[in-house]
Amino acid sequence: MNIIQLIGVLIAALGSISAAVSAYFSSKSSKITLQLYQNERKEKLNQELNRIIELGIQYPYVENKTFTSKWNEMKLANDEKYLRYDMYCNLLFNYLHHVFEYYKGDKSKIESYLDVKSWIRFHKENWYNPVDENENIDGYDEEFRKFINSYLN
């Protein structure tokens, strides 16, 4: 093999090594970007949770069984408390939907993150009897509705 052939082989080898190194770092970069995105999504879930908890503290009746048990008979009464409770439940179920999406519907992961069973069961009257009778059918995908209903059946 002469020197020109040897240089050609070395250049080809360097090109292959360069491509492999580039692919490796591109892969690592994608994984880091994905991890940062997941961390950001989790932080948003935590912020949403804190907001719901703050609302429960500010308006404690939204987490009071005596109050929530009267939901169905009072939902159309135009009472500010029940209007607020309806919005609270919308926030709550939207939040649970975000959690469901984040954990890809994995019940064990969701239950490890949040006491979802108690919350769903506590607000079941609102889930079963929304102001707009089609709200939960039109507002959420079938898998999420099955997830919620699995705690209520």
**Domain coordinates of the chain in residue numbers?**
23-150
Measured between alpha carbons, how far is residue 8 from residues 4, 20, 56, 144 in Å? 6, 18, 72, 60
Q: How far is it, in rounded angstroms, from Cα 28 to Cα 5?
A: 35
Give tens-digit pLDDT for 92-106. Answer: 999 999 999 999 999
Give tens-digit pLDDT for 105-115. Answer: 999 999 999 99
Q: What pLDDT was estimated at residue 12?
A: 66
Give tens-digit pLDDT for 33-73. Answer: 778 888 999 999 999 999 999 999 999 999 999 999 999 99
Average pLDDT over residues 80-93: 96
Chain centre to alpha carbon of residue 34: 16
Q: How far is it, in rounded angstroms, from Cα 127 to Cα 74?
A: 14
Q: What pLDDT was estimated at residue 116?
A: 97
Structure tokens at 148: 């919620």
Q: What is the DSSP string of 126-149?
A: HHHS-SSTTHHHHHS-HHHHHHHH
